[in-house]
Structure 1
Amino acid sequence: MKDCLMSLKIRKNKSPIFITLLLILALLTGLTAGYFSTHGITENGKFEAFSGKVFQNEVSGSTLTLHYTLAHPEKQGIRRKKASLGTVPTDMKNTYQICSQYEKKLKSFRYSRLSTENQLTLDSMLLYYHTEKSLGDNYLLQEPLGPSLGIQAQLPVLLAEYAFYEDRDITDYLTLLTTIRPYFRSILEFEKKKSEAGFFMSDTTLDRILAQCSSFIRNPDNSYMLNIFQKKLSEYGKLSVPEQNALLLSHQNLMKTEVIPAYQELMTGLEALRGTGKNTRGLTYFKGGKAYYLYLLQSQTGSYVPVKQMEKRLSRQLSDEIGIAGTILRQNPELLTTLSRGITFRKIKPAQMLNALQQKIQTDFPPLTDVTFELRTVHDSMKEYLSPAFYLTPPMDTGTPNVIYINPAASYQGLELFTTLAHEGFPGHLYQTVTFQRQKSSNIRNLLCTSGFAEGWATYIEPYAYQYAADYIQDPSATELARISWLNRSINLCMYSLLDIEIHYNGWTQAEAASFLRAFGIEDSAVVSEIYQYILETPGNYLKYYWGYLSLLDLRTSEQNRLGQDFDLKAFHSQILKIGGVQFPVLEKYIDAEF
C-alpha cells in the first residue's frame, strides 16, 4: 500500500495524512507580478517560479513532510523551521482561501505558451486545489484517526523510519517527540468538534483505536522505537560511543515522558467522547455525508466519474470476471482440488523474489537499473494493526532508501508473498516511484496526493505478477492456477469496492451487506462483521486500488482500440510512468503527448 509519504497497505493510506489534514498551510505574500518580473521572463519561467514557491511553502508545513520529501532541504534553498508535527485545523477558512488564491494564479498563466510538461503540472495543480476547496463545510467528516490507517497507527513507523543524514536530523527527531502531545491535543480538539456536530466515531471504532494505542504503549522499555534509534545512531557513523549513549538515554527518557504520555492522553480524551457517536452505518447517514463521499472519491481515486457510472462499471467487471473464472474451472475442474489443498510454490526468499521480478518485468515494462531496496519486518507491537505490507517512499533528492515492510501477522508466503512484493516493489510502488523521481519533474508533483494513480498502478501490475509467478508454481497447471488466483483476488477487490459505494453512498446496512456477501459464499457472521466494519472505517480505500486499476485498464483498452496493430504495451507503460502520478482526467489528456 502508497499514500503521500508511504504506501499502505500504510499509502493500504495516504492518505493521506499525514500529520495535517491538508498539506496546504501557508501562502507567502511574495507571489506577485513584481516577483515574476525579476525572476521569470518567459511564461514558462513565471510558472516554474510560482510552482517552485508553492512547493517550498507546502513542503515546509510539517517537519515530517519536509524530511520525507527532501533529505537536504537547504540545498533546495529551504530553511528548516523548528521541528514540529503541526496541528490539525478545526477551521478550514484559511485553507480554502489559499486554494482560491492558487486557483486564481494558475488560471492567469497563458496556457498556450507553456511547455507540455508545465501544462500537465498546471492542470494537475488546478484540479487538485479545486477539489480540496470543494470539501467545503463537510471537513468535519474527515477522520485523522483509525485502527489501521489513522495517524496514531502510522506515526510510530514514520518516526522510526526518520533517517539521519546529518546531525540536525537527530536533533529534529528528538524535538519531534516533544511535539506529539500538542499535536494529539489538536486532534482531540478536532474530535470534540466532530462530536458536537454529531460526527464522532462509533464506540466499535473507538474500541479498535484504543486497543491499537494500548498495544503500542504496553511495553515502553521494549519499544521497537528504542531499538531502531540505537541502530540508526550506530549506522550514522559520526558520533562517538559516549555521544551515542547520551542520546540513547535522552531518547529513552523522551519515550517515557513525552511519547507514552501523549498516547495515554489521547486515549483518555477519546474515551471521554464515548457514546457521542450515534451513527454505526455509512457516510450517507451523516448530514452532508453523501457530498463528502463524492469529495472523498475524487480526492482519493483521482477520478471524476459519477458514482452511478462507477457502480455500473464495477458491476459489469464483477459479472465478467465471475463468468471467466467459471469457464476456467469448468474446463479444468482439477484446479479446485489444487486450490483447496494449497498451491505449491518453490521455496524462495523475499529478497530473491524482488530480484527475480526486476528481471521478469522487462518483457512488459521499461527496465530500471541501479536501484536498491531494503526489506524490514513490522515490529510485534504493531503487526496486528498495520497492513500486510507497505513501501516507504524515499526523499526526492536522494532516491534512497527504498524500504518495503512485511507484516508477519499476515503470514504471507509463496504466491501471495510474491505478488504482494510485486505490488510494493517491482513493477509496483517502488518501481513507479523511482522511475518518476529520476525524471526530475517539477518538485510540486511530489506533493500532490494521487493515491488513485499510485494504488491503481500497483494493482494494475498484479495480473502481470501472477503471470510471472507461474514459473515458481510446482504444478503442471501452473499458468491456469496463477490466472484463477488473480481472478479470485480481482473479484474480491471488485466486490469490496462495490460494497464501499453501497454502504457509504446508498446506505446499506450490515444485513444488506451480509446478503450481498452470501451470494459469494461468505456467510461467517464474524467475517461479514469485520468486512462491514473495515469499510465503515476506511471509506473509499478499496476504490483507490480497484477503481484506479480499472481506470488504467480501460485506458489501455482505449489505446489498443485506437492504435490497433501499432499499439505497443511497453511503450504504453513507459508513457504512463513518464507522466507520473496525476488525476485520471489529466492522465487521459496527456497519454499521447510528447515530452
Structure 2
Amino acid sequence: MKKGILVALTILLMVSCKESDKKSTPNDLPVTKNEAFDTLLENYYQDGLKINPLNATFQGDNRYNDTLPNFLDDAYEKQLRQYYSEYGTKLKNFEDETLSESQKLTKAILKWECNINLEGLGFTDYTPLDQMWTMNLMIGQMAGGTGAQPFKTVEDYDNWLSRLEDYGKWLASAKERMIRGIAVEDVLPKSLIKKVIPQLASVVEPKLQDNLFYSPIKKIPENFSNEDKTRLTQSYGKMITETIVPAYSELHDFMKSDYMAAGRESSGIQGIPNGDAYYAHQIKVYTTTNMTADEIHKIGLDEVARIASEMEKVKQQVGFEGDLKAFFDHVRNKKELMPFTEPQQVIDNFNAIHAKMKPQVDKLFDKQPKTAFEVRRTEAFREASASAEYNPGSLDGTRPGIFYVPIPNVDKYNVYSDEDLFLHEAIPGHHFQISLTQENQDLPKFRKTLWYSAYGEGWALYTESLGKELGLYDDPYQYFGMLGAEMHRAVRLVVDTGLHSKGWSREKAIQYSLDNEAESEASITSEIERYMANPGQALSYKIGQLKILELRAKAEKELGNAFDIREFHNQVLETGCVPLALLEDKINAWITNTQTQK
C-alpha cells in the first residue's frame, strides 16, 4: 500500500450531495429508501473511523483521539484489506431495484471505493516519508495545538500523549520500511531526501520550550488545576525528550547517511520496480478515469498552447513588447506586484478580495454554506515547502474552514494571482464545495467525507474561471494570474506524465515549467518535487475542470434559455465527490428532465 490513506488525510477535503429519494417504476410506484442498505452504510462509516481514527479527528469526532494505528504494520494492512473486501461483498446483497435513486448512486460510489482501495493495497509503501504528503507532517501540524486535534480539556491533553506514544511506533516502522525499500531499490529521489532532512532536524530542538511538540503546553488553559498543569507539563517534557526527539534524531541521521547514499538519481516513479503499474493506478485514483498517460500528456500539450495564446492577448493589452517568456519574468519581478512588508498585509489582501466579490456571489450561487471561514498564515515549521491550501471545518461547524497561505518571504510575495487563488482555495471553490456537503443532512456519513481529487480539485479550478462573473479580474495582471494558474494546471499534465511515464528528469520538468508559466523558479522547483512525491495527483485538477466545463457547455447549448447557472452549480455541488463518470450521468439526467419540463 502506497501513500493513499495518508495523502487523503493530508488533503482531507469533504463534499456535498442531495438527490431525489424516489424513482418511478414501470407501475409508477415510488421506491422508498432501503433501510437495511442505510444500516450497511452507517456500519461502513463507523467501522472506517475505528480503522482510521485520524479521519474521525479531522471530522470533529473525538472518540478516537487517543489512538493512532501503525499504518505501516502488516497486520493493519490485512485488517484494511478485510474491511474493503467484506463491504464490497455485502454490496452484492442489494439489487438496484430495491434502492432509491440516491441509494443507487451511493452504491456505485461505495463499490468504486472498495475496488480502488483494494487495488491500492497491492502496492507496498517503501517511502513513508517525503517532504510534502506524509504522516510526520500531518502530526507536526496537529502538534502545533491549533489544528484538528483539540486541546481544550485535560482529557484532550492526555489523548494527545497517548496518540504520540503510538506515533513513536510509527516512526520506528517508517525507518524499518525504508531499510526494506533500500533492499528492493524502492527509495526516494535524492532531491526529495534533501528536503526531508531539514524538516526532521527542525523537531530535534535541544531547547524543550522551543520544540514544536511542546506548543500545547504553552497554550494550556488557565482553568486547569495546578496539579494537572504540573503533571501535563512533566509528561509532555518526558514524551518529547524520551520518545519524539530520539525518534526524529534517529530518522534524521539515517536519511542523511545510509538513505541518502541509496537515494535514486531518477526523478519519476518509473525508476522503481513496478513503477509503470503503480503510475497507472495513480492516474485512475486521481482522475477517476481509465485515461492513459499518453492521452493526458497530449491534452496537456494542447491546453498549454491554447492558454499561451490567451496570455499573448494580455501581454499586448499592457503594452509589453518582449516575448511571452520575457513577460513571465516581467510579472515575476514587477515591484508593483510585490507591495507588502508585513505578512498580515497578505492576509488583509485576501479578506479584501472576499469583500469585493460578495455582492456578486448570489447571482451564481443560491445555496451557500453556513460554516465559518478564515484566512491564516501557514505554520512556520512547514511554510518553506508548503503550497497554499484549504483545510475544511469540522462536521459540526464548530471549527471553521481555513485557507492557509505560506508567506516565507513577504518582500518577495507577488499578488498577481491572489484573486484567482482565493476563488480556488476559498470561495466559491473548496470552502463552498466542502462545507455544503458537511452541512447536508441527507447524505450518508461516509459520503460527507469522501474526496475524489478529479471532482474536488476540478471544481476548484473551474471556479477560477468565474472571476469576471464575480466582479474580479478587472486588473489585467489579475486576469493574467488566472491564466497563469490555469497554465500551471495544464503544465502539470505535461510534466507529471513526463516525469513518471516518459523518463523526464527533475531538471527537464523544471525547465519546461519555467518556459511556460510565470511562477518563480523556487516555486516551480517545489511544485515539481511535489509531483515527484505523489505521482498522478497533479493530473486531477485539469482533468476535472475540463469535464465540468464540458458539461456546462453542453447544458447551455441543449437548454438554451432554460439554462440557469445557479441550478447547474446546485447540480454539480449536490452530487458531492463522485467519480467523473457518475457526475456526467447526473448532469445528463438533469438536462433531459429540464427539457421534459419545458
Q: TM-score, normalised by structure 2?
A: 0.81
Deviation at 1:487, TM superposition (A): 1.1
Q: Cα–Cα, structure 1 residues 245 and 198, in superposed 2: closer, same or farther, change >3 Å?
A: same
Aligned match of 2:361:
361
Distance (Å, rounded) in 2 between the aligned partners of 1:249 and 1:401: 32
Q: Cα–Cα, structure 1 residues 498 and 344, in superposed 2: closer, same or farther, change >3 Å?
A: same
Pick aligned residue for 1:548 from 544, 548, 568: 544
Aligned match of 1:25:
none
More off after superposition, 575-584 vs 329-338: 329-338
Secondary structure of the corresponding residue to residue 138 of structure 1: coil
Kept in 1: contact 2:496–2:536 (CA 8 A): yes
Aligned match of 1:87:
71
Secondary structure of the corresponding residue to residue 60 of structure 1: helix
Task: Letter of the 1:226 partner, please give it.
Answer: Y
Pick aligned residue for 1:215 from 167, 183, 202: 202
Q: Cα–Cα, structure 1 residues 132 and 444, in superposed 2: closer, same or farther, change >3 Å?
A: same
Equivalent residues in 2 for 1:415-430 (5 A)? 415-430=416-431
Aligned match of 2:28:
none
Aligned match of 1:37:
none
Task: Letter of the 2:466 partner, please give it.
Answer: Y
Distance (Å, rounded) in 2 between the aligned partners of 1:520 and 1:591: 34
Pick aligned residue for 2:291 from 305, 325, 335: 305
Aligned match of 1:505:
501
Task: Letter of the 2:136 partner, please give it.
Answer: Q
Distance (Å, rounded) in 1 between the aligned partners of 2:409 and 2:115: 39
Distance (Å, rounded) in 1 between the aligned partners of 2:215 and 2:521: 40
Distance (Å, rounded) in 1 between the aligned partners of 2:436 and 2:548: 18
Deviation at 1:370, TM superposition (A): 3.9
Q: Deviations over 1:290-309 (max 9, x none)?
A: 11111112212333333333
1:586 matched to 2:571: no
Aligned match of 2:89:
104
Kept in 1: contact 2:376–2:405 (CA 8 A): yes
Q: Deviations over 1:232-280 (max 9, x none)?
A: x42xx75345534543343233223322222223224444333233452
Distance (Å, rounded) in 2 between the aligned partners of 1:485 and 1:525: 16
Pick aligned residue for 1:65 from 29, 49, 55: 55
Secondary structure of the corresponding residue to residue 448 of structure 1: coil
Q: Deviations over 1:25-69 (max 9, x none)?
A: xxxxxxxxxxxxxxxx98721111111111111111233222222
Aligned match of 1:171:
158
Q: Cα–Cα, structure 1 residues 378 and 256, in superposed 2: closer, same or farther, change >3 Å?
A: farther
Secondary structure of the corresponding residue to residue 221 of structure 1: helix
Aligned match of 2:19:
none
Kept in 1: contact 2:392–2:434 (CA 8 A): yes
Distance (Å, rounded) in 2 between the aligned partners of 1:576 and 1:342: 38
Q: Cα–Cα, structure 1 residues 524 and 449, in superposed 2: closer, same or farther, change >3 Å?
A: closer
Task: Letter of the 1:289 partner, please give it.
Answer: G
Distance (Å, rounded) in 2 between the aligned partners of 1:375 and 1:524: 23
1:568 matched to 2:567: no
Aligned match of 1:206:
193
Q: Cα–Cα, structure 1 residues 120 and 358, in superposed 2: closer, same or farther, change >3 Å?
A: farther
Aligned match of 1:290:
276
Distance (Å, rounded) in 2 between the aligned partners of 1:386 and 1:261: 25
Q: Cα–Cα, structure 1 residues 394 and 534, in superposed 2: closer, same or farther, change >3 Å?
A: closer
Secondary structure of the corresponding residue to residue 390 of structure 2: strand
Distance (Å, rounded) in 2 between the aligned partners of 1:522 and 1:396: 38
What is the aligned residue count? Answer: 548
1:385 matched to 2:372: no
Distance (Å, rounded) in 2 between the aligned partners of 1:399 and 1:134: 36
Deviation at 1:169, TM superposition (A): 2.8
Kept in 1: contact 2:416–2:480 (CA 8 A): no
Distance (Å, rounded) in 2 between the aligned partners of 1:423 and 1:345: 22
Q: Cα–Cα, structure 1 residues 228 and 576, in superposed 2: closer, same or farther, change >3 Å?
A: farther
Deviation at 1:384, TM superposition (A): 1.3
Deviation at 1:117, TM superposition (A): 1.8
More off after superposition, 197-206 vs 406-415: 406-415
Task: Letter of the 2:251 partner, please give it.
Answer: L
Task: Letter of the 1:405 partner, please give it.
Answer: Y
Deviation at 1:214, TM superposition (A): 0.7
Q: Cα–Cα, structure 1 residues 369 and 501, in superposed 2: closer, same or farther, change >3 Å?
A: closer
Secondary structure of the corresponding residue to residue 403 of structure 2: strand
Q: Deviations over 1:175-195 (max 9, x none)?
A: 112222101122223222322
Aligned match of 1:405:
404
Secondary structure of the corresponding residue to residue 554 of structure 2: helix
Q: Cα–Cα, structure 1 residues 401 and 487, in superposed 2: closer, same or farther, change >3 Å?
A: closer
Distance (Å, rounded) in 2 between the aligned partners of 1:293 and 1:456: 20
Q: What is the root-mean-square deviation of aligned Cα atoms in Å?
A: 3.6
Task: Letter of the 2:380 partner, please give it.
Answer: D
Task: Letter of the 1:15 partner, please give it.
Answer: V
Aligned match of 1:247:
232
Distance (Å, rounded) in 2 between the aligned partners of 1:384 and 1:525: 14
Kept in 2: contact 1:418–1:469 (CA 8 A): no
Q: Which runs of 5+ in 2 are unaligned?
A: 13-30, 594-598
Deviation at 1:328, TM superposition (A): 4.0
Aligned match of 1:128:
113
Deviation at 1:326, TM superposition (A): 1.9
Kept in 2: contact 1:493–1:546 (CA 8 A): yes
Equivalent residues in 2 for 1:157-556 (5 A)? 157-159=141-143, 160=145, 161=147, 162-164=149-151, 167-218=154-205, 220-231=208-219, 233-234=220-221, 239-240=224-225, 243-270=228-255, 271-330=257-316, 333=319, 339=331, 340=334, 342-343=336-337, 348-368=348-368, 370-387=370-387, 389-398=388-397, 400-409=399-408, 411=410, 412=413, 414-440=415-441, 441-465=443-467, 468=470, 470=472, 478-510=474-506, 512-513=508-509, 516-517=512-513, 519-520=515-516, 532-556=528-552
Distance (Å, rounded) in 1 between the aligned partners of 2:304 and 2:537: 18
Deviation at 1:81, TM superposition (A): 8.4
Deviation at 1:402, TM superposition (A): 2.4
Q: Which runs of 5+ in 1 are unaligned?
A: 6-13, 21-40, 74-79, 472-477
Secondary structure of the corresponding residue to residue 461 of structure 1: helix
More off after superposition, 243-252 vs 422-431: 243-252
* Identity within the alignment, %: 19
Deviation at 1:331, TM superposition (A): 5.3
Distance (Å, rounded) in 2 between the aligned partners of 1:329 and 1:293: 37
Task: Letter of the 2:95 partner, please give it.
Answer: R
Q: Cα–Cα, structure 1 residues 277 and 343, in superposed 2: closer, same or farther, change >3 Å?
A: closer
More off after superposition, 441-450 vs 331-340: 331-340
Pick aligned residue for 1:153 from 91, 112, 137: 137
Q: Deviations over 1:77-116 (max 9, x none)?
A: xxx4852243323475554444333222223311132122
Task: Letter of the 2:421 partner, please give it.
Answer: T
Q: Deviations over 1:466-522 (max 9, x none)?
A: 764747xxxxxx354332221122112211321101110122235654664575389
Task: Letter of the 1:297 partner, please give it.
Answer: I
Secondary structure of the corresponding residue to residue 427 of structure 1: coil
Secondary structure of the corresponding residue to residue 409 of structure 1: coil
